[in-house]
Structure 1
Amino acid sequence: MYVPKYNREEDWASIANFIKENGFGMLISTRDGIPEATHIPMELVEKEPGKFVIHGHISRANLQWQAFGSEQEFLAVFTAPHAYISASWYGEDKIPTWNYIAVHVYGQTRLLNKEESELLLDNLVNRYEGGLEHGVKLADIEAAELSSNIKAIAAFELAVDRVQARFKLSQNRHDRDYESVIDHLKAKGDENSLQIAAEMEKRRKSARS
C-alpha cells in the first residue's frame, strides 16, 4: 500500500484499536500465481506481552486454507470509514479526493488445532453475541453439531510481522480547509462522514495540545 509520510500512522495503540473496532476484513494470498481473497471476521490477539497475532477461520471448502502453515506471506486488510471530499469545500484548490482509514497486516500463518479452533469460535461468539438480549453461547450448541462445524472450518493464526497503516484524513490541508472539510462531512450526516469528521477533529486537537 502506498503510504505518504503525512498519512502514515505509526502509533500501535491507534492501529490496534482500529483493527479491534473494524474486525471484518479481507484475508489475501496467492495460489498458482493468482491472488485470492476471503472476507471474514478476524480478531487481534495479544498472545504474550507485546506480541500480537490475528485469529480467523474459513470454510475448508475454500481452498485458500491449504496455504496455512506454508512459507507464504498472507495479507489481512482492515478498512471501514471513508468519505468523498469535494473540492468545493476548499478555499482555492479544485482537486477532489477521498478520505479513509486502512490497515494492512502481513505475516505467515499456522493452522490451529481442534481445541484452539473451539476457543477461537467461543471468543468470536462471545464478542458479537454478548450484547444481545438473547445472545447464543457456544455451550448452547449441541456437541455433535459443534464438532461437525469445527471439522468443516480451517482456523488460522496470522503472525503480525509487518504493518502498514494509512489514515488519510486531509493532514496536508491548512486549518481553514481542514475545518471546512469537517463541517461539510458533519452536514452530510451519514455514518461514514461522521466517523471521518470525528477522527479528523480528534487528530487536529491532539496535534495542537
Structure 2
Amino acid sequence: MYQPKKYINNSPEFIHSFIQQYPFATVVLKGECLLATHIPVLIDGNKENYRLFAHIANHNQMHRFLKNGEEMLVIFQGPDSYISSSWYSFPEIPTWDYEAVHVNGKITLQSDYELQDSLERLMGYFERDSENPVTYKTIPKEIWNDNFSGITGFWIEPFQALGIEKLHQGFEYREIQNINDKLQKGCPKNIQLASLLKKKHNLE
C-alpha cells in the first residue's frame, strides 16, 4: 500500500473497526497470474489478535491455487470520492479522498465443520438487522447441502495490516468545511465520505 506519512493509520483500533464496517473485500492471490475475487471477509478475534475468514466457489479459477501457507492480500475499501480543486479558495489540482485497509496473510483451509460454523456466523452478521432473518435452519437442507459442497472455506492469518485515511489532512478548516458541504450535496457514497471528513476534523 502507498502510504504518504500524513495519511497513515496502522492502529489496531482503526484496522479492526474498518474491517468490521466494510467487510466486502477484494482478495488477491498469485496463480498463473495475479487473481482477484470480490467476497465478504469477516474478522474473528480482537484488535490485537485476530484472523480473517471467507469462502469461494470451487469453480472460481482462484480455487486451485488456494493452498495452506500461500499468501493472500485482502483489500478493504470504504467510501471514496473525487475532490474538485474548484472547491478550494486557491488554485490547486484535483484529488481523491478515501480510506482503505490492506491485510497480508497466510491461508489455512477450513474443515467442513469450520466452514459450516463460518457460514452460520456470516449469515448471522449480515442478517442481524433483517426483519425476517435467514438462518441455516430456515434454508431447505437439500439446497444448503448442494451449495455447501460447491465452496471452500479458509482462514487468513495476518502478518501485516496497513491502513490509510486520506481526508485532506493539512488543509485549513474553511477549506475542509467547504469540501464537506460539496460532498453533502452528492450521491450517498459522497455523503458517507463527508461524514468521515466531519468526524476526522471535528467539523460542527
TM-score grouping bracket, smaller chain normalisation:
over 0.9
Q: Judge conservation of contact 2:82–2:96 (CA < 8 Å) in 1.
A: yes
TM-score (norm 2): 0.92
Distance 1:205 1:43, change over 3 A: same
1:96-145 alpha-carbon deviations (Å, 9 max, x no partner): 01101111110111110000000000011112223222221101223343
The residue aligned with 1:155 is 153
Partner of 1:205: 202
Partner of 1:129: 127
Following superposition, the deviation at residue 49 of structure 1 comes to: 7.7
CA shift, 1:21, in A, is: 1.3
Aligned to 2:56: 58
2:53, 2:155 within 8 Å by CA — same for their partners in 1?
Answer: yes
Task: Report how far residue 65 of structure 1 moved.
Answer: 2.6
Contact kept in structure 1, 2:55 and 2:152, CA below 8 Å = yes
Does the CA-based 8 Å contact 1:112-1:155 persist in structure 2? yes
Does structure 1 residue 191 correspond to structure 2 residue 188? yes
Residue 162 of structure 2 corresponds to 164
1:204 and 1:126 mapped to 2: Cα distance? Answer: 34
Residues 49, 182 of structure 1: alpha-carbon distance in 2 compared, 3 angstrom cutoff: closer
Of 65-74 and 195-204, deviating more is 65-74
Deviation of 1:82 after TM superposition, in Å, equals: 0.6
Work out whether 1:119 is the aligned partner of 2:117: yes
Q: CA deviation at 1:45?
A: 1.1
- Following superposition of structure 1 onto structure 2, how do residues 11-50 of structure 1 map, counting pairs within 5 Å? 11-32=11-32, 34-46=33-45, 50=48
Q: Is the 8 A contact 1:20 1:44 kept in 2?
A: yes
CA distance in 1, matches of 2:186, 2:47: 40
CA distance in 1, matches of 2:8, 2:92: 24
Partner of 2:139: 141
Moved more, 76-85 or 9-18: 9-18
- The counterpart of 1:105, out of the listed 79, 85, 103, is 103
Q: State yes or no: 1:67 paired with 2:65.
A: yes
- What is the aligned-residue RMSD (CA, Å)? 1.8
Cα separation, 1, equivalents of 2:132 and 2:201 = 41
Partner residue in 2 for 1:9: 9
Q: Which residues of structure 2 form unaligned runs of 5+?
A: none
Which residue identity does 1:109 align to in structure 2?
A: I
Query: Secondary structure at 2:19's aligned position in 1?
Result: helix
Q: Contact 2:75 / 2:102 at 8 angstroms: preserved in 1?
A: yes
Q: What TM-score results when the alignment is normalised by the length of structure 1?
A: 0.90
* Residues 69, 108 of structure 1: 8 Å contact kept: no
